[in-house]
Amino acid sequence: MKKLISMLVTAALAVTSVFALAGCNSANNGGNGGDKASNFKVGAIYINSQNDTSGYTYAHHHGITEGMKKIGLDPAKDLYIVDNVPEDDEKVKQAIDQLAGNGCNIIFGISFGYINAFEAKAKEYPDIVFSHATGYLSNDKNFNNYFGRIYQARYLAGIAAGYKSLELKNNNIGYVSAWGTEYAETCSGINAFAMGCIAVNPDAKISVYEISTWGDQQLERQAAETLIDTYGCCVIAQHCDSAQPQIVANEKGVFGCGYNSDMTKEAPNAHLTAPVWNWDVYYATAMKAAMEDPASFMTKVGNYYEGLKAGFVDVAPLSSNCTPETKEAIDLAKNMMISGEWDVFSGVKLSFSGAAGSVGVAKADAALKTNDGTEIVAAGGPSVDDGVIQGSMNYYVEGVTQVN
């Protein structure tokens, strides 16, 4: 009784909003039993607002709702959300308690800093599946992590940026990043993007401006302005939550590659393409497994890490701002990654050449090196392990410089 009262008080005092009422949904898409679907509830904890129209939180929210529809769940009835939850253990735990009190069967946490609270609460609520984005902790019962090979899509976006820099005869390319070498997530993305740029424009220089937070629209804007005004960057890429870097690029007459969603509508005269997540691919898989048999969730799903081949990551449709050669080169690189013929962080480098209609790609054995000359992979060697890409790639490759 004391635990129940505490849970109700927590829910009443929470300043964030929970949307959707529990309800019955008899749809049976995806082969789920009607009874299971009618009793299954999904919880989600967001770092920003579910009402965002682009960026990181938007992409996850869209993926969750689309994934629910795929397996016969109604987001209007079966989804509970606590949004605008900062990376504070106690506040995340309060949000989890709130969703547990709502009877959620699976709870998704979309921000890296939720990791410790999710690990602790997974032990407290053994009958609930806990699924944490971008992290590395898990257990063998009810707690997993999920992420993907977004570096592959970053490389493809780098190709678009490289071609634009050649067209503009400007080798300076900027990158607004939440973090730098502190996290392999940001660092691997920066490196892959740079390698895609250099495969097209060998003289490209990528300047990284780190804002030291996952999401602050004002800092994102200021960083983009500095990269353009101080460092003369002609293309602005990003690993941050909002479309502000692309909006700044649009205002200042340069170009950009967004992230998480197609940001062409926010920056119609600037945006080239964006690395994007098809989060519904994972969310449908996870919810279906948790609905059918939560006890076997870790056996069936486990820690999830997929890429282009599974359709989990990709680039947004190329805008008319891209050069004519861009699509051909991106398709060549994408097909090589999907087939397994080549991957980004190996001792084999790609180079693209030729006019539109006859773009070709060449492979050459070349060591993968950091920007201080340290060899990571020998010439001709295989790609670094997934564990390095996910957890210990805390260095920049050749061509990358942090400017703040």
Are β-strands 172-177 and 129-133 bridged in parallel, bridged antiparallel, or unpaired? Answer: unpaired
Mean of per-residue pLDDT scores for the chain: 92
pLDDT at 35: 61
60: pLDDT confidence band, cut at 50, 70 and 90?
very high
- Is the model's pLDDT at 26 over the cut of 50? no
* Separation between Cα atoms, residue 7 and residue 107, nearest integer Å: 16
Reference 260, options 245, 274, 281; nearest CA is: 274
pLDDT at 215: 84
Taking residues 87-96, what's their average pLDDT?
98
* Separation between Cα atoms, residue 327 and residue 314, nearest integer Å: 13
43: pLDDT confidence band, cut at 50, 70 and 90?
very high
- Say what the pTM is: 0.87
pLDDT at 94: 98
pLDDT at 38: 76
Strands ordered across the beta sheet of 205-210: 271-273, 255-257, 235-239, 172-177, 205-210, 400-402
Taking residues 57-67, what's their average pLDDT?
97
* Separation between Cα atoms, residue 135 and residue 113, nearest integer Å: 8
Taking residues 248-274, what's their average pLDDT?
97
User: Per the structure block, which two tokens stand in for 21?
Assistant: 């009422």
User: Which domains are seen in the chain, by residue range?
Assistant: 2-148+278-310 (3.40.50.2300), 151-274+319-402 (3.40.50.2300)
Asked if 403 contacts 190 with a C-beta cutoff of 8 angstroms, the reply is: no
- Is the model's pLDDT at 389 over the cut of 80? yes
DSSP letter for each residue of 214-228: S--HHHHHHHHHHHH
pLDDT in tens, 200-240: 999 999 999 999 998 899 999 999 999 999 999 999 999 99
Reference 402, options 191, 165, 113, 134; nearest CA is: 191
Taking residues 348-357, what's their average pLDDT?
97
Taking residues 378-404, what's their average pLDDT?
96
Taking residues 43-70, what's their average pLDDT?
95
* Separation between Cα atoms, residue 129 and residue 139, nearest integer Å: 11
* The residue to which tokens 């480098």 are assigned: 349
Are β-strands 235-239 and 255-257 bridged in parallel, bridged antiparallel, or unpaired? Answer: parallel
* Separation between Cα atoms, residue 286 and residue 121, nearest integer Å: 19
Taking residues 177-185, what's their average pLDDT?
96
Out of 42-46, 51-55, 142-146, 167-171, which region has the weakest mean confidence (pLDDT)?
Answer: 51-55
Q: Bigger pLDDT: 22 or 92?
A: 92
